């Protein structure tokens, strides 16, 4: 893995809080490595106001760690600190949970030389808690609270937009405040500069970021997903793939006294309409079926991929297999409200797989009460979809929370507590009977389910992107 | 001419005999000799495979100056056990309950093999496996090491491995950022 990749990996670890499906908020020092001279970064990043608070116990622990006269390691010198770095990496990757990886790197300086491998992304459950998939632990971040505790327009993930301040060639590492972040929402983009870095570890008051919201699409159209590739912002709507020129917007955000930025110019570079597979219907052979469809845009290894997810109903519809084989080379895609690509061997995910989280119907209906619902894993090599989490591991409770070690922990933050006890979104009465057959089994992926990944653009940008392959289904 | 020819024949015979031998002799840094199945050595170690293919195997003991006798004994023991063990289809863990990568879990005998080692022996073995390019043995030993770390705090790991904390205050501040959430639930 190249240096840049390591940096990008570390930075993507910092992926933002206000997303349904993302990595836990961590600030490894190696983050700065991700910063390059490019204005736009193809990485997502955590913003400082969202860091969890440090409990007192940590401070105490760190105090004992700081004690130079620590004699716990007395006696004959141990060779373990001299473990070759390549072996430290193997051990790191053998540790499935982020907590264990962080602990290992905190042991001694030599063990910290290797960058923190990107962990298996955490799933953000709708009650504001996070699920660490490898060990099934549920983590609370009281200072993060619920959905309304964050930037209201950050629904589609936060990207590091531009690094201000010192040149990336001149260390020391820039602080998080030296960067601009962008959050792409359904119809606008919010560009913000986080508050002072010194505040990151404190619970409250939160540092106040400067937020500039720019409308990037007409009201009649909503954006499904956005991604950065080679310094350019891409976004997809139902019909089109757009590329945005953000230079002016960035310039005006850099100068906080500047005028509100104009709508950034955009160019449609591909037409995505597929008459055989629309938002509501899919044609297989001569038959047309009702379907529900979700589209995601993911940057993976210098390629821009569109992932489409399809659920066909009624459940008597055909079994679907839709896929275009793409050489993924150790990549796993995680798609949700904020899609991303990770190195599978690094985080312990299965390679050549698309992990998708439950999709809440945006209109307010929900398909079942299981917090993971229809989350599943699509294996691109054999076209099979399996549930992310077997029922035996996590049993749903009636209020839609997972039973976990920490699931019932008393939460000191009123906002988070409120969210914990909030029942799930109401089930849409009309849809339920139709979907009942599909979702009667919690945590199960419905059988009439398909996923398709197609390439929209590659690192060497083409004016004429590849035509999207037709939705091809077979029984 | 006759003599030369005979010499050539003898050379050839010797080479054939060498190729026919099914073991190789390895010599540790402290001069002890170990015999190991050639097939297993070539299959399990990329370095030994290269030496066997390249003919740089010494009948009187191939020098492995970086490896002590105790570690080499474990390596040879591992190779021989591996050669005799019935290949199991269950290399992929059956205990994975989440949809994560199917890590190659050690087999029962491999687990026992590393479990009986002292910490120092384990360290020497993992270094030897690294030096000899033994991917499987590296997997098994690193798995063992990771097992020893799982669920432990940095302090506890230091205690297990007898490592001194050598961080400066500035570095601790950085780590604090990482530990903030990691310790939250504890």
- Looking at every residue in chain B, the average pLDDT score rounds to 78
Instruction: Test A70 with B119 for CB contact under 8 angstroms.
Output: no
Q: How many percent of chain A have pLDDT more than 90? A: 3
Nearest CA in chain B to A356: B99
Task: Give yes or no for residue A357 having a pLDDT over 90.
Answer: no
- Does B97 fall in a domain? yes
Q: In Å, how far is A117's CA from the nearest CA of chain B?
A: 13
Q: Which residues of B touch A349 (CB under 8 A)?
A: 100-101
Burial class (CB in 10 A: 0-12, 13-18, 19+), A325: exposed
A86 touches chain B (CB under 8 A): yes
Q: Pick from B154, B164, B181: which is nearest to A106 by CB?
A: B154
Give, as one character, the DSSP assignment of residue B58: -
Q: Would you call A212 helix, strand, or coil by DSSP?
A: strand
Average pLDDT for A426-435 = 28
Do the beta carbons of residue A130 and residue B178 sit within 8 Å? no
Of the listed ranges A102-106, A349-353, A415-419, the one predicted with least confidence: A415-419
- Does B163 fall in a domain? no
**Residue A456 banded pLDDT, cuts 50, 70, 90:** low
**Residue A286 banded pLDDT, cuts 50, 70, 90:** confident
Average pLDDT for A284-303 = 78
Q: A99: part of which helix (H) or strand (E)?
A: helix A98-105
Task: Give yes or no for residue A441 having a pLDDT over 60.
Answer: no
Of the listed ranges A121-135, A160-174, A248-262, A383-397, the one predicted with least confidence: A160-174
Bridge-partner residues for A192, per DSSP? A181, A211
- Does B158 fall in a domain? no
A374 versus B156: the higher-pLDDT residue is: B156
Tens of pLDDT, residue by residue over A210-243, are: 667 777 777 777 788 888 777 778 888 888 888 8
B37-41 own/partner pairs: CB under 8 Å, 24+ apart: B37/B79, B37/B80, B37/B83, B39/B83, B40/B79, B40/B80, B40/B82, B40/B83, B41/B79
Task: Give yes or no for residue B93 having a pLDDT over 90.
Answer: no
How many Å apart are CA A233 and CA A284, to the nearest integer? 34
pLDDT at A298: 83
Q: Which of A183, A252, A259, A263 is nearest to A219 (CA)?
A: A263
Q: Pick from A70, A377, A389: which is nearest to B165 by CB?
A: A70
A416 versus A246: the higher-pLDDT residue is: A246
The dihedral of CA A412, A418, A419, A422: what is its sign?
positive
**Domain range for B66:** 9-150
Of A192-206, A365-379, B168-182, give the range with the top mean pLDDT.
B168-182
Of the listed ranges A282-286, A413-417, B23-27, B68-72, the one predicted with least confidence: A413-417
Average pLDDT for A165-189 = 54
Instruction: Test A94 with B97 for CB contact under 8 angstroms.
Output: no
A184 versus A364: the higher-pLDDT residue is: A184
Residues 388-407 of A with CB under 8 A from B: 388-390, 392-393, 405-406
Average pLDDT for A240-258 = 75
Do the beta carbons of residue B129 and residue B138 sit within 8 Å? yes
| Residue A203 phi, psi (nearest 5) | -70, -55
Instruction: Test B179 with A98 for CB contact under 8 angstroms.
Output: no
**Residue B74 banded pLDDT, cuts 50, 70, 90:** very high
**In b/e form, how buried is each residue of A150-175, taking b as 16+ CB within 10 angstroms?**
bbebbbbbbbbbbbeeeebeeeeebb
pLDDT at B64: 86
Nearest CA in chain B to A173: B174
Domain count, chain B: 1
Which one of A62, A91, A106 would you mutate to disrupt binding with B, by most B Cβ within 10 Å of its Cβ? A106
- Does B181 fall in a domain? no
Q: Would you call A105 helix, strand, or coil by DSSP?
A: helix
- Does B72 fall in a domain? yes
Of the listed ranges A104-108, A152-156, B135-139, the one predicted with least confidence: A152-156
Task: Give yes or no for residue B94 having a pLDDT over 50.
Answer: no
Average pLDDT for B33-49 = 88
A120 versus A370: the higher-pLDDT residue is: A120
CATH number of the CATH domain containing B19: 3.30.710.10
pTM of full prediction above 0.95: no
Of A39-53, A376-390, B127-141, give the range with the top mean pLDDT.
B127-141
The dihedral of CA A236, A237, A243, A246: what is its sign?
negative
How many Å apart are CA A66 and CA A60, to the nearest integer? 10
Tens of pLDDT, residue by residue over A60-117, are: 444 444 444 444 444 566 889 999 999 999 899 888 787 888 889 889 989 988 888 8
- For B20, the token pair is 């026919």
Do the beta carbons of residue A162 and residue A43 sit within 8 Å? no
Task: Give yes or no for residue B177 having a pLDDT over 50.
Answer: yes
pLDDT at A356: 79
- Does B19 fall in a domain? yes
pLDDT at A316: 52
Task: Give yes or no for residue A363 having a pLDDT over 80.
Answer: no
- Does B109 fall in a domain? yes
pLDDT at B159: 92
- Does B186 fall in a domain? no
| ipTM metric | 0.81
| Residue A51 phi, psi (nearest 5) | -70, 140
Of the listed ranges A75-89, A96-110, A369-383, A410-424, the one predicted with least confidence: A410-424
Task: Give yes or no for residue B123 having a pLDDT over 90.
Answer: yes
Q: Which residues of B touch A70 (CB under 8 A)?
A: 164-165
Task: Give yes or no for residue A449 having a pLDDT over 50.
Answer: yes
Which one of A107, A115, A129 would you mutate to disrupt binding with B, by most B Cβ within 10 Å of its Cβ? A107
DSSP H helical ranges for A385-459: 414-421, 431-439
Of the listed ranges A56-65, A205-214, B23-32, B52-61, the one predicted with least confidence: A56-65
- Looking at every residue in chain A, the average pLDDT score rounds to 57
pLDDT at A245: 82
């Amino acid at each position: 893995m190249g240096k840049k990749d390591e940096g990008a990996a570390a930075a993507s670890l910092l992926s933002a809080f206000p997303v349904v499906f993302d990595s836990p908020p961590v600030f490894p020092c190696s983050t700065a490595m991700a910063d390059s001279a490019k204005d736009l970064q193809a990485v997502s990043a955590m913003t400082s106001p969202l860091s969890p608070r440090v409990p007192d116990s940590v401070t105490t622990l760190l105090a004992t760690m700081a004690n130079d006269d620590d004699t716990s390691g007395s006696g004959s010198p141990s060779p373990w600190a001299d473990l070759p770095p390549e072996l430290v990496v193997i051990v790191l990757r053998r540790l499935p949970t982020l907590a264990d990886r962080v602990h290992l790197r905190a042991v001694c300086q030599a063990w910290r030389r290797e960058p923190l491998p990107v962990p298996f992304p955490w799933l953000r459950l709708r009650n504001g808690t996070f699920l660490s998939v490898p060990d099934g632990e549920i983590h609370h971040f009281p200072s993060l609270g619920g959905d309304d505790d964050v930037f209201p327009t950050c629904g589609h993930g936060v990207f590091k937009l531009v690094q201000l301040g010192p040149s990336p060639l001149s260390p020391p590492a820039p602080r998080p405040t030296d960067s601009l972040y962008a959050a792409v929402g359904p119809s606008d983009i919010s560009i913000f500069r986080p508050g002072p870095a010194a505040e990151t570890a404190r619970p409250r008051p939160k540092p106040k970021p400067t937020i500039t919201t720019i409308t990037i699409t007409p009201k009649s159209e909503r954006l499904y997903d956005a991604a950065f590739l080679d310094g350019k912002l891409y976004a997809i709507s139902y019909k089109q793939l757009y590329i945005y020129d953000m230079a002016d917007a960035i310039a005006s955000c850099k100068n906080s006294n500047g005028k509100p930025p104009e709508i950034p110019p955009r160019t449609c570079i591909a037409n995505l309409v597929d008459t055989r597979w629309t938002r509501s219907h899919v044609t297989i052979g001569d038959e047309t079926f009702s379907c529900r469809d979700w589209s995601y845009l993911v940057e993976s290894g210098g390629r821009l991929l569109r992932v489409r997810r399809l659920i066909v109903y009624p459940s008597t519809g055909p079994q679907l297999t839709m896929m275009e084989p793409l050489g993924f080379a150790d990549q796993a895609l995680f798609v949700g409200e904020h899609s991303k690509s990770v190195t599978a061997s690094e985080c312990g995910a299965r390679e050549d797989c698309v992990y998708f989280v439950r999709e809440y119907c945006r209109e307010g209906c929900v398909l079942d009460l299981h917090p993971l619902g229809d989350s599943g894993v699509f294996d691109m090599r054999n076209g099979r979809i399996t549930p992310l989490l077997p029922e035996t591991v996590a049993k749903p409770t009636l209020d839609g929370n997972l039973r976990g070690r920490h699931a019932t922990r008393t939460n000191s933050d009123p906002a988070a507590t409120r969210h914990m006890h909030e029942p799930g979104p109401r089930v849409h009465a009309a849809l339920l009977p139709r979907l009942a057959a599909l979702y009667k089994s919690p945590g199960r992926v419905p059988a009439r389910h398909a996923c398709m990944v197609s390439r929209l653009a590659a690192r060497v940008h083409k004016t004429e992107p590849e035509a999207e392959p037709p939705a091809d289904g077979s029984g | 001419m006759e003599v030369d020819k005979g010499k050539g024949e003898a050379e050839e015979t010797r080479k054939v005999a060498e190729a026919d031998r099914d073991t190789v002799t390895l010599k540790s840094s402290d001069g002890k000799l170990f015999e190991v199945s050639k097939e297993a050595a070539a299959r399990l170690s990329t370095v030994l495979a290269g030496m066997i293919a390249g003919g740089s195997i010494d009948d009187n003991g191939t020098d492995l100056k970086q490896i002590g006798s105790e570690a080499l004994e474990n390596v040879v023991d591992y190779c021989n056990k591996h050669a005799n063990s019935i290949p199991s289809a269950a290399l992929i863990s059956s205990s994975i309950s989440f949809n994560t990568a199917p890590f190659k879990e050690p087999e029962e005998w491999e687990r026992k093999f590393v479990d009986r080692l002292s910490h120092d022996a384990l360290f020497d073995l993992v270094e030897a496996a690294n030096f000899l390019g033994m991917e499987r043995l590296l997997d098994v030993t690193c798995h063992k090491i990771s097992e020893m770390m799982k669920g432990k705090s940095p302090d506890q790991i230091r205690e297990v491995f007898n490592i001194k904390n050598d961080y400066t205050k500035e570095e601790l501040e950085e780590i604090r950022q990482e530990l903030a959430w990691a310790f939250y639930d504890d």
